[in-house]
Amino acid sequence: MGPDSIINHFENLTDPREDNKRHNLIDIIVITICAVICSADKWEDIKAYGIAKEEGYRRFLELPHGIPSHDTIRRVFVVFLDGLPNPTFSLPTSAPSRFAAVSRLQ
């Protein structure tokens, strides 16, 4: 699955943020998914991964204000997961546990 697949899958999500949207929701989601797949387990790790891969991300993400801070990434997911009926979900038993890690990030 390439970045276009991730973008196409999530591009129609409703952004739960009301105001002060400096970063595109899809940018935050793509960076977070890629970082978690690559073993990020803290918000700071996601930010560091984003910085390390920023040049590549700029080929397909807008990143109007660069890579979001770890606090911004955390706030977006707290608001987003809070709006879900049940923020925990089940994955097939064959799926690696890190795919469910976003809901457990510290």
- Sequence spans of domains, the chain: 3-13+21-104
Give the per-residue pLDDT at 11: 84
Banded pLDDT at 96 (limits 50, 70, 90): very low
- This prediction has a pTM of 0.78
Give the per-residue pLDDT at 67: 98
Non-local CB neighbours of 97 within 8 Å, separated by 6+ positions: none
- Write down the residue that tokens 């038993």 correspond to: 93
Q: What is the pLDDT of residues 42-70, one digit of tens each?
A: 999 999 999 999 999 999 999 999 999 99
| Nearest-10 crossing angle of helices 25-37, 70-82 | 100
Residue 97 has pLDDT above 80, yes or no: no
List, as one string, the DSSP characters of 28-46: HHHHHHHHHHTT--SHHHH
Give the per-residue pLDDT at 72: 94
Residue 94 has pLDDT above 50, yes or no: no
| Mean pLDDT taken over the chain | 82
Dig out the tokens for 6 from the structure: 């991730």
Distance from C-alpha of 41 to C-alpha of 55, rounded to nearest angstrom:
22
